[in-house]
Amino acid sequence: TQLLEQSPQFLSIQEGENLTVYCNSSSVFSSLQWYRQEPGEGPVLLVTVVTGGEVKKLKRLTFQFGDARKDSSLHITAAQPGDTGLYLCAGVKAAGNKLTFGGGTRVLVKP
Amino acid sequence: KAGVTQTPRYLIKTRGQQVTLSCSPISGHRSVSWYQQTPGQGLQFLFEYFSETQRNKGNFPGRFSGRQFSNSRSEMNVSTLELGDSALYLCASRFSGTGGYGYTFGSGTRLTVV
């Protein structure tokens, strides 16, 4: 069982539609990060959230950290084909240094 | 500035052999972590080095080992390779040794064991 559960595992949408990816856990994390990974490449950091209830926006991407710091969501508005990729959430526990990754959500945006 | 460099990018090995992968962190970064990525298990933490000392180790058998040099470059070694070791091996570097910030990943080494 993954410590961080991501849903859905796969999402296929048309260009212009909105999408939301969820990352849930029963554990508390001191920080949570979202990455996007392209085939054959390493994950690229999108955002780090550290405060419960925090909302961060990155152009068309909105990230939210749950009040209890156990869950997070990524919302993409008006998705574009360039948003296609594997989205990964990763948490760090207090006083810890290792990233615990969710299973990933594969997003396909069709033109 | 240059990113995290992993070499080689691709590797094919035979069962029972051993392999060494290399990671050069971003200049000034002293922490290097290694992760294994497979379709079935996703990204799993292998170990982390900071200032030449292993600080954290994941749940992998002793066949997986690593080290870090004084210039912060790191290597990981897998001995007695098994088919299940086929994976993308990623390293990540960061400046600070504490907290969960600032990870930059390399492009990975794709290891295929036949």
Could you say which DSSP state residue A79 is in?
Answer: -
Amino acid identity of A85?
Answer: G
* Average model confidence (pLDDT) across chain B: 93
Q: What is the DSSP string of chain B?
A: ----EEE-SEEEE-TT--EEEEEEPPTT--EEEEEEEETTTEEEEEEEEETTEEEEE-S--TTEEEEE-TTS-EEEEE-S--GGG-EEEEEEEES-SSSS---EE---EEEEE-
CA dist A43 and B109 (Å) reads: 13
What distance in Å separates residue A76's CA from the closest CA in chain B? 23
pLDDT per residue as tens digits for the range A61-105: 999 999 999 999 999 999 999 999 999 999 988 766 788 999 999
What tokens does A56 get? Answer: 């961060």
pLDDT per residue as tens digits for the range B30-51: 999 999 999 989 999 999 999 9
pLDDT of residue A42: 95
Best B37, B46, B47 member to test A by mutation, with max A CBs in 10 Å, is: B37
What tokens does B43 get? Answer: 């990204």
The rounded percent of chain A whose pLDDT value lies above 70 is: 96
Residue B95 in this model has a pLDDT that exceeds 60: yes
CA dist A4 and B91 (Å) reads: 21
Binding-face residues of B in 6-35 toward A, CB within 8 A: 31, 33, 35
What distance in Å separates residue A50's CA from the closest CA in chain B? 9
Name every residue whose Cβ is closer than 8 Å to that of residue B106 and which is 6 or more positions away in sequence.
A42, B3, B4, B5, B6, B23, B90, B91, B92, B93
Least confident of A22-36, B45-59, B92-106: B92-106
Range B93-97 average pLDDT: 77
